[in-house]
């Protein structure tokens, strides 16, 4: 039987994905470079564009924005609780406890940052929204890197879990570097690269937490037998 933590992670991903699809279908249109486009563009609209109460084409997007906020909050609460379960198992291991505590602090700060992203629509407070976005994403690879160190020291998880955390950290750190120093959205290619990279990073985070929740649940079940 699948574990409770894995079920929660999988359900969280499915609900968030469904709400994001609803937000995309409700988005009227417009991109940061072209307000005349119709509907949501997977290659030229950021995920945060779904949270605009008024879209780039000037049309209201209240319901779509509500779907986006719901999707993001579901991810924050659902995946955040799964990360807590993963960290709690690491905290039970004296060898990895110090690193797990630091990782939990980073995860909490990242969650706070993404809550800020949810409640600062681009069309109203763009500068604040961008600041929350940048700082939230910067804490993510820092947290996963600390989890990698905790997993390497752990006597609970096999070495492959530490390697997965390391790979995730490298990918997410690369995204943060691209977001910070990569091409800007003022050019067509820059916008395309940044939009696709954001979506890829989001998918990596969700899939990594779902998989690691599965591993965590399996070890909790074994420990209780």
Specify the pTM. Answer: 0.91
State how far the alpha carbon of 80 is from the alpha carbons of 86, 91, 114, 221, in Å. 10, 16, 11, 21
In the numeric block, which tokens belong to residue 10? 């999988």
Among 114, 115, 117, which residue's Cα sits nearest to residue 129?
117
Q: How buried is residue 179: exposed, middle or buried, by Cβ count under 10 Å (0-12/13-18/19+)? A: middle
Beta bridge partner(s), residue 54:
60
Question: Which range, of 59-68, 97-106, 170-179, averages the lowest pLDDT?
Answer: 97-106
- Interval 167-174 mean pLDDT: 98
Mean pLDDT for the stretch of residues 52-72: 98
Dihedral (C-alpha) 139, 99, 207, 25: value to the nearest 10 degrees?
-30
Which of 219, 159, 156 shows the shortest CA–CA distance to 6?
219
140 pLDDT exceeds 70?
A: yes
What CA–CA distance (Å, rounded) separates 58 from 62? 12
Q: Tell me, what's the pLDDT at 225?
A: 38
Torsion of CA 167, 168, 169, 170, to 10 degrees: 50
The model's pLDDT over 186-222, given as tens digits with 9 standing for 90+, comes to 999 999 999 999 999 999 999 999 999 888 766 554 4
Confidence of residue 6 (pLDDT cuts 50, 70, 90): confident
What is the pLDDT, as a whole number, of residue 222? Answer: 46
3-class state of residue 188 by DSSP: helix
pLDDT of residue 219: 57
For 76-133, the pLDDT digits (tens) are 999 999 888 888 888 888 888 999 999 999 999 999 999 999 999 999 999 999 999 9
């Amino acid at each position: 039987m699948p574990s409770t933590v894995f079920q929660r992670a999988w359900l969280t991903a499915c609900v968030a994905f469904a709400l994001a699809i609803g937000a995309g279908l409700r988005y009227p249109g417009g991109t940061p470079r072209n307000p005349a486009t119709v509907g949501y563009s997977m290659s030229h609209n950021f995920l945060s564009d779904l949270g605009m109460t008024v879209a780039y084409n000037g049309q209201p997007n209240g319901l779509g924005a509500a779907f986006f906020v719901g999707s993001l909050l579901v991810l924050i609460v659902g995946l955040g609780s799964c990360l807590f379960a993963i960290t709690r198992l690491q905290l039970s291991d004296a060898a990895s406890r110090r690193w797990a505590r630091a990782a939990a602090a980073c995860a909490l700060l990242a969650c706070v940052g993404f809550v800020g992203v949810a409640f600062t629509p681009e069309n109203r407070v763009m500068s604040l929204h961008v600041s929350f976005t940048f700082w939230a994403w910067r804490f993510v690879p820092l947290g996963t890197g600390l989890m990698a160190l905790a997993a390497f020291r752990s006597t609970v998880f096999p070495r492959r879990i530490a390697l997965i955390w390391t790979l995730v950290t490298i990918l997410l750190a690369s995204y943060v570097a691209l977001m910070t120093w990569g091409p800007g959205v003022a050019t067509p290619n820059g916008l395309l690269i940044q939009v696709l990279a954001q979506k890829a990073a989001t998918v990596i985070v969700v899939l990594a937490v779902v998989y690691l929740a599965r591993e965590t649940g399996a070890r909790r079940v074994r420990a209780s037998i």
